[in-house]
A and B are shown apart, each in its own frame.
Chain A
Amino acid sequence: MAGGVDDDLWSAIGDPTRRRLLDLLLVDGGGTATSLSRQLPVTRQAVAKHLGVLDRVGLVRATPAGREKRYRVDDAQLARAVAQLASVGSAWDARLQRIRRIAEAIQRAQQD
């Protein structure tokens, strides 16, 4: 996509439950679908599904922990998501500045 934004990464962190999961994983240093579902008003199955989405975009990494998987946040990929947010914002800042310059030049030309 033009502008270099990964839509799936945006989508993964666009969901409030998944952001809450990331929060909990950061605070706790990691967790399983079972441990996370105890702290959220959603089922273990739903948590597992959300963790799957986060895993696919690389925001979390799983390691086997008994019969479950233990997840941790991937700091590097999280940084990437944050940087993309910032870059979309600055791209629009630059476009709006150009819009302003063009419009003001036309206004001045009409007044002369």
Chain B
Amino acid sequence: MEFGTLEREIYIEASPEIVFDVVSSPEHLKGWWPDDARYEPTPGSAGEIVFGDRDADGKVVPFTVVDVRPPRTFSFRWTHPGDQAAAEGNSLLVTFDLTPSGGGTLLRMTETGFREMGWEVAVLEEQYRDHVSGWDFYLPRIAPYVATLRVRP
């Protein structure tokens, strides 16, 4: 099992065309995720999404469109450093796959890249500087959690 993969499926009573628009257009993205979104919904388009107020202490996150195949697939990379092109290893890849189903749409989302990100020990060391520890738990609980992350009938 690839530990760094998150998978979800949800059935939506709307056509794939509508669902595709909702998951891919910057205008709609703002309705379900960031406070602002600036990118062209075309492959390779580099833009950004913003959480909070861009001019105050909001967080601006790079967002690069990878694949656009309406109404079936939309994918993008995010969280790469602003001065780098999005690629495997420096970002998370989110893919939406849409399948027509019973008059509606089965929307499948996967997010991968946790494992590749920050893989180099040097990066780990650098990122570790501001770490805080705390809490209380055990490894056996990871498996059940991962199961809930990956499988959602």
Contact = CB atoms under 8 A, between A and B. Distances in A.
Q: Which of A15, A22, A80, A97 has the most CB of B within 10 A?
A: A80
Interface string A75-92: 111111111011011001
A107 B15 contact: yes
Interface residues of A, number: 51
| Interface class of chain B by DSSP | mixed
B149 A26 contact: no
Interface residues of B, number: 54
Contacts of A77: 133, 135
A93 B19 contact: no
Contacts of A110: 18
Contacts of B115: 10-11, 14-15
A7 B127 contact: yes
Contacts of B142: 13, 81-82, 85
A62 interface: no
Contact of A96 (B3, B109, B133): B109
A2 interface: yes
A95 B114 contact: no
B6 interface: yes
B4 A10 contact: yes
Contacts of B137: 75-76, 78-80, 82-83
Contacts of B18: 103, 106-107, 110
Given A15-B115, A85-B146, A98-B31, A78 B131 contact: no
A12 B133 CA distance: 15
Interface of B: 3-4, 6, 8, 10, 12-15, 18-19, 21-23, 28, 31-33, 51, 59, 61, 78-79, 105, 107, 109, 111, 114-119, 121, 123-125, 127-128, 131, 133-142, 145-146, 148-149
